[in-house]
Every structure is written in C-alpha cells, then in structure tokens.
Structure 1
Amino acid sequence: MANGLTLAFGCGFLLTLAGQALAGHAEYNNDLIATGLSPLPFGAYLLSTDFAVDVTENWQSEYLQFFLYIYATVWLLQRGSPESKEIGRAGTGTDAEQKTGRHARASSPAWAAAGGVRQVLYSRSLGILMCGLFLLSWLAQSIAGCAAFNEQHLRELQAPISWGQYLTAADFWDRTLQNWQSELLAVGSMAIFSVYLRHRGSPESKPVGAAHDSTGVEG
C-alpha cells in the first residue's frame, strides 16, 4: 500500500485520541464528584479546556522533537548512526547534491528549480512547518492551560490569574518541561542505540551486517 505508513499512524492517532478522551472524561468526572459537583457530559468534556490542554501539551512536544531533529541533523553528526549524515558532510550541501536551481531534474518540485526566495523557503519548508506547528500548539497549550488552571482556582475560591502570569507559573512549565525532557531522551536514545543495535528491514536501522561505525547507511 503506497500510503500504508500514513494511514496506519493516522488510524492509531484517532484511536488513541478517542481512548484519551474516554479516560480523561472519566477522571475529570471523578474529580468533580469528589468535590461535590455534577459530572460533565462527554460532549462538553471534549470542548473543555482540561481536554484541550492535555492534548496540545503532547502535540507541541512532538513537533518540537521533529523541528529540533530536522535542524540539528544538518550540522550535528553521530558516528555509526543511520539517522546521521556521513562524518565530514555536515552542512546544507551543494546545489548539485540537493538538485536545486540549474541542477533540478524534470521530476523535481517546481520551487526547487526556481531561484530566490521561493527556493530558499522550499529548501527549508519542512523545518519551517514543524517550527510553526510547534509554536501554534504551544500557544494553544498555554491558552487552554491558563483557562484550566483558573477554572481549578475558581473551584477552590482562589483568584484567577492572567495569561501573562500563567506563562511564568509552575503549572505551565511543569506541563511543558516534562514533555520536552521525554522527547529529548527518546531522540538521544534512538541516535546512540541505532549505532549498535539493528532492526532488519527498517530504514531507521542500518543493515544487520553493517559495521558499528558505518554512518548514514540505512537498511
């Protein structure tokens, strides 16, 4: 199937999002009942700030992971990793290597052959998109998190805070940093473990018989 990877992960995303919604709804209502409040209908929970912040705080960390990895692997190398370019080949590459400008082929995207701003933007379009999605989802997390934080404060008869104040609050950075550290750990682990371990048939692994110091080779 030509789009099997996208379809499989897309279906997995929808199933896990639905599971998160069901589990989150149950937990949210348990908290409401424990404080003497009426439970919230499932549809209302899906539109709640509590659900929104739980979802967006995970999204922003995932897009941060890809944004950092895309840009870091341009310049940083890891000897023996299939995720790294070959040692000594750090950088953006020549036009001939990247098939841009006059080196573009008939099958190349139109903006790869174009010059000026269009080529500059297209040459970095994946990283720009991941950066934009990270910033947007992080913004959404901060707005939803502030609303959820104030909702909890109001239940406890405490004064709400502004969005600006929430950006410096421990709740915001606790939610943010616990996701960032997990993503950085996962990426760093993959980079070093792929030097010594193999998974036959995966492009994320070197060929099973490749030497440990073989770099930039995919199986």
Structure 2
Amino acid sequence: MRRFLRERSLSLVFGGLFLAALVGQFFAGHADYNERQAALGQPVLSLGAYLFSADFLVDVVENWQSEYLQFFLYVTATVWLIQRGSPESKPADKAGLDTDKNQQVGRYTNEDSPKWARVGGWRTTFYSTSLGLVMLALFLFSWTMQWIAGWYANNSDPLAEQTGLFQYFLSADFWNRSLQNWQSEFLAIASMAILSVYLRQRGSPESKPVGAAHSVSDRSG
C-alpha cells in the first residue's frame, strides 16, 4: 500500500486538493449567492438547490474549460514552437513530430509498448495525437457546458435581459467569462516558459538542473 501511494502521490495529492477546493468553492459560492439574493430581495437557495443550480455549474466549468484549453494548446504548440533555454521546450533542432525510432512506433516498438503504437495505420496515427485530442474534447465539452449553464443562469435572473441560447453565445457576459480565464492561462504558460530559462527548482522535472546553463533547453543539459 505504501508503494502504491508513493508511486501515485502526484495524482492523489492533486486529486485531493481539487476535491477540497471544489467543496470550498461550493460553500463560499452558496454564501455569496444568497448574500446577493438577499440584498436584491430575491429568494435564497438551500445547499442542495445551489448544488444543482446553473449558477454553481457555470462557475465550475468556466474554470475547467480554460484549463483544458491551456493544456490542449500547450501539448500541441510545443511540438513545433520553442523557447530557447526553457525545459518546457524542446531544443530547436528537435522541433516537429520526431522520427519513428525516437517515438518508438511501428517497427521500433518493444514488448511493453502500447498496442496501438505497434499496429500502424489510422490507429497509430490516432494514438500519436490522442492526448491533444482528448484535451480538445474536454475543453469543448466544458466550454459548451459553460455556455448552456451561463445562458440558463442569465435567464433565471429576473433583473437580466432574457436571451436565446445562440444570442447568449454572442453576449458580453459569455465572452467576458471565457476571455478572463483564457488570458490568465496564456499568461501562466508564457511566464513558465520564460522564467524557467533563468530560475531553478531543484528536484523538479519542470526545471533544468540547478547548474545547467541558461541556454540549455533539454533537461539532460
């Protein structure tokens, strides 16, 4: 059991932090929502009603969609784009899809390789892009959920202008919710790519070795 927990500690710790933050957001959001409702003389919601409300859902998924957009763009853009000296980037001479030999696909697979890396054809092509595709699908799903939940929450507000679903997609509220999250994700990616050129975190795979030259991009330095 100890080995099991140690070897999965990264996902377990961040999964626990996610649940704790989500629960905290739920209670804080419920209190904030009821304070606003009371100030406007509107009915307040119980905890159970707020849990299944569009207001809570839209607050959750608008953050999810921006995170999945960040990872989709990151895992796909770093195939071709580089940042000299950053461990978040490949060296300039390795930009691109890389060779079958280095990627261990087709005849270069071994007995432990995933089946779809070995069989060739559309399955290997699909598997070769599966991480980016799943991140894109999760982004589109959560962004769609934000759209629908935001529209429902807007139309449930007696003080807001009632709109159709597609009209809400073009509204300032929908795009403000989306863009305020996107800009922060893009800033975080750019900051990590640039700061990791000059700064170090000993022992982290996201950092170069402490003594590596600033100009070195790969971690092996």
Q: State if a TM-score over 0.5 links the two structures.
A: yes
Letter in 2 for 1:5: L
Equivalent-residue separation in structure 1 for 2:43 and 2:220 (angstroms): 55
TM-superposed deviation, 1:88: 1.4
Bigger shift: 123-132 or 34-43?
A: 34-43
1:27 corresponds to 2:27:
no
How many correspondences in the alignment? Answer: 216
Counterparts in 2 of 1:183-194, with a 5 A limit? 183-194=185-196
Equivalent-residue separation in structure 1 for 2:142 and 2:218 (angstroms): 32
Equivalent-residue separation in structure 2 for 1:184 and 1:38 (angstroms): 38
Match of 1:198 in 2: 200
Bigger shift: 18-27 or 36-45?
A: 36-45
* Per-residue deviation, residues 48-75 of structure 1 (Å, max 9, x unmatched): 0000000000000000000000000000
Letter in 2 for 1:117: W
Structure 1: which 5+ runs fail to align?
Answer: none
Match of 2:3 in 1: none
TM-superposed deviation, 1:37: 2.3
SS in 2 for 1:74: coil
Letter in 2 for 1:195: V
Letter in 2 for 1:68: L
Letter in 2 for 1:189: S
Equivalent-residue separation in structure 2 for 1:77 and 1:16 (angstroms): 34
Letter in 2 for 1:51: F
Letter in 1 for 2:25: Q
Alignment equivalent of 1:149, drawn from 144, 154, 173: 154
1:40 corresponds to 2:45:
yes
Letter in 1 for 2:132: G
Structure 2: which 5+ runs fail to align?
Answer: 1-5
Equivalent-residue separation in structure 1 for 2:42 and 2:135 (angstroms): 40
1:5 corresponds to 2:7:
no
Match of 1:55 in 2: 60
1:107 corresponds to 2:109:
no
After TM superposition, the score normalised by the length of structure 1 is 0.97
Letter in 1 for 2:73: L
Q: Give the fraction of aligned pairs with identical amino acids, expressed as a percent.
A: 57
Letter in 1 for 2:147: S
Equivalent-residue separation in structure 1 for 2:173 and 2:162 (angstroms): 13
